[in-house]
Amino acid sequence: MKNVYLISYDVSDAKRLRLTHRKLCGFGTSLQYSVFRCELSKLQLMSLKEGLWEILNLVEDRVMVVDLGPAGARGDDCVEFWGNPRTEIPERKAFVI
């Protein structure tokens, strides 16, 4: 079962900032410049955390992970947007090739 996570970050170094953004792009959708919405299983969340721990300097950088609850439940209803959203949240689907 997957949960919806809201992940934001504040990274002080330009290289680590780019690497953090790229890493999160592989796991979710960018809502704002440093804010992502991710639907992750426990295993995927651990994989993301381990990947970020390799990139970040935890003395200088910060990441916030908020568990919004199960995907398809109230997770997306917890977030309220004001103004013009940067991106729409796409419906994610699996494709069999």
Name the binding residues for Mg(2+): 10
| Number of CB atoms found within 10 A of residue 57's CB | 10
- What is the rounded CA–CA span in Å between residue 96 and residue 1? 20
Bind-site residues? 10
Q: Which one, of 8, 12, 58, lies nearest residue 33 by Cα? A: 8
Q: Is 62 helix (H, G, I), strand (E, B) or coil?
A: strand
